[in-house]
Chain A
Amino acid sequence: MRQDLEVDGVSKRYGAQTAVDALSFSVAHGSFFSILGPSGCGKTTLLRIVAGFLTPDVGDVRIGGRSMRGLAPNRRPVNMVFQHLALFPMMTVGENVGYGLARRGAARAEIAGRVDAMLKRVGLPGAQDKRIDQLSGGQRQRVAIARSLVLEPTLLLLDEPLGALDLKLREHMKIELKRLQADFGTTFVYITHDQSEALVLSDRVAVMNAGRFEQIGTPQELYYDPRSSFVAAFVGANNRVSGRAMRVGEQDVELAADHGLVLRARMRGQIAAGQTVEAFVRPEAVDLARDASELSAAAQHFSGHVESLLFDGANSAVLVREERTRVDIRIALPQTGRFTDLKVGEKVAFGFESQHAVCFVAGDHGV
């Protein structure tokens, strides 16, 4: 597989702070690669290094197999879609899309033809003469992408372009972005702090924290098989229980939480008995029942009272307070409508299989 982007041992420091810490990774041709991390994790710095706006202290960036060392942004086969899109308000839509071509010295007729074709492809046929302020948020997004893709870059960088949109439009633009990427086949590198954007859009996702990648994998791998407690906590909703490892088996750990809850979970990395650990169990991995006999025999069983109901359509959940330890556990409600009559204060049983929970050494970032 051809690699369109190879980042090789790149570091960038600002004073005492390391924004990007010896990162190496590559992105395959035609794929949608996301870098997911909280604000301040260094993802914007990394993107700006790839675009050429920043020079790394050490390391090299290769795009399409060619080293980018010493190459200015306007000489790189890379284009960027900015956070607030940065469309030129003093130009029409057509002039915006044609700007890069004109800078390359393309003939006027050729520019007009390619702009026209590009606007058709992004679903804005004949919008050349419109002003930027006449477009809706979604249309601006498409113009920003068209303006970059018309230059046929090896790589398109996207800096949280959906961040400024409202929720409804953001959901719509997610689908649109994925379709555009599949359509053009251009390699996309997308940075975001929104895990749902990263999971929905990407072929592969890198979870970034404090200048390093915690894990690189498919969205499914990140979700079902997190390799660090940071990934488990950051990607998707998760119940976190911290405590001490009591008994360490071959694959399982028995953990006693600080407040007395004892549970078994799959072991990740090396854990010794007595170590401080963190376990995670997803809300949808926990089974809820009115009576303990309805739960699977293989699961570990608990009981508690409904603390609050969190109705949110398909994402509805219930917060259950465990009987003895008073730990709150979030449990997803099944879509069958079996629990629509659930009341606050009702006594329920819940359980999960140990293989659906994961356990890490506390504070262990990255495996």
Chain B
Amino acid sequence: MLLLVAPALVWLVGLIVLPHLELALISLRARVAPRVYELSLSQYRTFFDEPLYWHTFVRTAAMSILATICTLLIAFPAAWYIAKIAHGRAKSILFVLCLIPFWVSETVRTLGWMILLRESGVLPHVLVALGITAAPVEMLYHDTTILVGLVYTSLLFMVVPLISAFDSLDNSLIEAAYDLGGDDWSILRQIIVPHAAPGIAAGAVIVFMLTLGNYLTPTLLGGKNSLWFTEQIYTQFITRFNWEQGAAFGFLLLVLSTVIVWLGLKLTGQRFGDVMRRS
């Protein structure tokens, strides 16, 4: 039986566990002379001493949480419609529509956004033509633009677990609640959300992790102002060739995502195992 999971295990150990161990070791050393290193926490100290770093760190976390919430708010009614209201062909077409953005590579998709939103792009011109703005407005390089891009990229990963959660909800529960005098709000709060909670949590965990670790979307849509933490890691590794600092940042990001996911599950009373079964 172990043979069945062996390929996945090799993959996991070889590509995730081993590099991370290596990174952990790198992050804990400091270069004192060419090719001479010693054990040190100085990379982690730099992070706390330099306001830009932890400012970016907190900002990335906050934006990711915001993006997750926005994704949930948009995906919830859409998933409800697909699971409970649409039937037959319409249902599968709507589902495929959620999938279609992923037929195009992320780079091309994001460049598409840039063509639409840049100052000389399609949308600012449409706004001028409609008389809404006097001159073309630069719509790129705003936080809102980053958020829109992140939500767009994440939608599918929220919609899928939500649809499966809603599909498993017996319609007669809603009818029974309605019959007993419940209104839409109380049914949403007391029947639908508690039932879908593991699905909601699963979608939120996936979307949050994807968003937090996203590099391309914030960088392209946010430009220099994006201040995304993955960008800092990239800079350390590639531009500055400071692997020690990059490795430390990587580990800080790992800790951050673990803590936030743990907190989120704790606050909503979900168990990690239940949630992962739903996703």
Contacts and interface: CB of A to CB of B under 8 A. Distances in A.
Interface of A: 51, 53, 72-74, 78-80, 82-84, 86-91, 99-100, 103-104, 147-148, 151
- Which 4 pairs, one residue from A and one from B, show the smallest C-beta to C-beta distance? A86-B176, A100-B180, A90-B194, A103-B181
A86 B177 CA distance: 9
B138 interface: no
Nearest to B175: A53
B191 A90 contact: yes
A84 B170 contact: yes
Given A73-B178, A82-B176, 13 more contacts: A72-B178, A73-B175, A74-B179, A74-B180, A78-B179, A80-B179, A82-B172, A86-B175, A88-B176, A90-B195, A100-B181, A103-B186, A151-B180
7 contacts: A73-B175, A86-B173, A86-B175, A86-B176, A87-B176, A88-B176, A90-B194
A86 B170 contact: yes
Given A74-B183, A103-B182, A91 B176 contact: no
B190 to A, nearest CB: 7
Contacts of A74: 178-183
A124 to B, nearest CB: 18
Contact of A83 (B172, B177, B181, B183): B172
Contacts of B181: 74, 100, 103-104, 151
B57 to A, nearest CB: 37
In the complex, which of the residues A103, A104, A147 has the most CB atoms of chain B within 10 Å of its own CB atom?
A: A103
A104 B182 CA distance: 9
A99 B182 contact: yes
A66 to B, nearest CB: 17
Contacts of B182: 74, 99, 103
Contacts of A148: 180
Interface in B51-68: none
A79 B175 contact: no
Nearest to B174: A86
A74 B170 CA distance: 18
A151 B179 CA distance: 11
B179 A103 contact: no
Nearest to A150: B180
Interface residues of B, number: 17
B194 to A, nearest CB: 4
Interface in B190-226: 190-191, 194-195
A73 B187 CA distance: 14
Contacts of A79: 179-180
Contact of B180 (A89, A90, A103): A103
Contacts of B194: 90
A86 B172 contact: yes
Nearest to A81: B176
A79 B170 CA distance: 18
Contacts of B195: 89-90
B181 to A, nearest CB: 4
In the complex, which of the residues A74, A78, A89 has the most CB atoms of chain B within 10 Å of its own CB atom?
A: A74
Contacts of A87: 176
Contacts of A84: 170, 172
A14 to B, nearest CB: 15
A66 B190 CA distance: 31
A102 B91 CA distance: 36
A88 B173 contact: yes
A149 B77 CA distance: 34
A80 B172 CA distance: 11
Contacts of A100: 180-181
A148 B180 CA distance: 7
Nearest to B184: A74
Interface string B249-261: 0000000000000
Contacts of B175: 53, 73, 80, 82, 86
Interface in B154-175: 170, 172-173, 175
A87 B172 CA distance: 9
A84 B171 CA distance: 11
A357 B177 CA distance: 49
A74 B182 CA distance: 6
B186 A88 contact: no
Contacts of B176: 80, 82, 86-88
Contacts of A80: 175-176, 179
A91 B179 contact: no
Contacts of B172: 82-84, 86
In the complex, which of the residues B170, B176, B179, B181 has the most CB atoms of chain A within 10 Å of its own CB atom?
A: B179
B33 to A, nearest CB: 63
Contacts of B178: 72-74
Contacts of B186: 103
Contacts of A82: 172, 175-176
Contacts of A103: 180-183, 186
B114 to A, nearest CB: 45
Nearest to A157: B179
B275 to A, nearest CB: 16
